[in-house]
Structure formats: structure tokens, C-alpha cells
Amino acid sequence: MKKNLLSLALMALLGAASVSTASAQASMTPGTVQVGGQAMYPNKNIVENAVNSADHKTLVAAVKAAGLVETLQGKGPFTVFAPTDAAFTALPAGTVETLVKPENKPTLTKILTYHVVAGNMTADKIMAAIKGGKGTATLKTVSGGTLKAMMNGPKNVVLVDEKGGVSTISTYDVIQSNGVIHVIDKVLMP
């Protein structure tokens, strides 16, 4: 009974809008991070966690449309740079609607896999690669493209896509059972 009451109290604490992310994270299971108002559990895979984030509904829909659900539930490890819904909204009007059409699946798949790097690239590893590269690290994406990672200030990593678009990592090290997610504020384009 006490355990159930404790669980209910914890859920109420996590759901309260007035609770800061930092204090909510301190109340969760170690290694758990909150994204889109929901806990992302390190024992769940990328897809299992992403479907719960209120900030990643468009990304999840795109992953489903591209047929990448099974892949991202696989063993990995994968590093996913996950654009928020706001990042997709910032694209030109009609872009997302066009990309999720069945006839555009190859293009959508290329864009989505451009946001994935093989391996487990935590923030520390990315920053070490940037330092080792004298200010720039080149990350090879699953789509075959490259991203440039650079520091913008002492603790802020930005990614530059092949078209010169810049995205900032807003949430680092959302650990998954099959990799890691970093939340980004722009959609990267190959």
C-alpha cells in the first residue's frame, strides 16, 4: 500500500506543471531524463521512449511513415539527434505533409537516417571528438552523409548539416537501452 501511494505521489509530482525539470529528474529513477513532459527510461528503447514525448509527435509519425520503427527498436547502439515538433513546424509550409506521403518514403528515410549516427555518442564523447578535431568533429550518419559538430560557448554543442543549417542540442544524453538521444531544435538536411 505504501509503495502504491509512493508511486502515485511520484506520478503526481512528475505531472505537476509547476515542478521544474531538475527537481522532477531528481525524483525519478537514476538515469531517467524528462523530455516533452514525460520520463524517458534508460531501460526502454528509442521508439518506446519517443512515443511518450509530447515534443516529438511529428518525429514519431515520420519514423512510422518511413518504416524505421523496427530498425530503431533494434539492438543498436544508435545516437539519434531528435528534432522537436517545433523544429518540424519551422520547415516551409507543406514540407512534412509532402514527406510523409508513400511516394516520398525514400526522401523521408534519407532525412531521418541523416539524424542517426551509429554508436553511442554521449555528450562527453561528442565534446571530446570536437576537442580532438581542434574545434570540429565530423560525424558520419547512417544515411551516408556527414554532420559537423562544434562548440558554441563552453557547454553548447551545435550541429551543422550539409546545407549549412545549424541546429543546437537542447537536451543531452537521454540514455536508451539501445543508444542515446540528443534533442535538437532544427531539422537537419542532407
Clarify whether residues 22 and 93 are in a common domain.
no
Buried b (16+ CB within 10 A) or exposed e, 57-81: ebbbebbebbebbebbeeebbbbbb
189 domain residue, yes or no: no
> What CATH number has the domain bearing residue 112?
2.30.180.10
Clarify whether residues 77 and 2 are in a common domain.
no
Cell of residue 80, nine digits: 539519434
Domain of residue 152, residue span: 31-184
Clarify whether residues 2 and 68 are in a common domain.
no
The answer to whether 54 and 38 are in contact (CB under 8 A) is yes
* Nearest in space to 35 (alpha carbons), one of 12, 10, 52: 52
Clarify whether residues 89 and 67 are in a common domain.
yes
Number of domains comprising the chain: 2
Clarify whether residues 67 and 141 are in a common domain.
yes
* Nearest in space to 76 (alpha carbons), one of 39, 38, 42: 42
Clarify whether residues 70 and 2 are in a common domain.
no
Q: What residue ranges of the chain have pLDDT lower than 50?
A: 1-27
87 domain residue, yes or no: yes
pLDDT on residue 30? 58
190 domain residue, yes or no: no
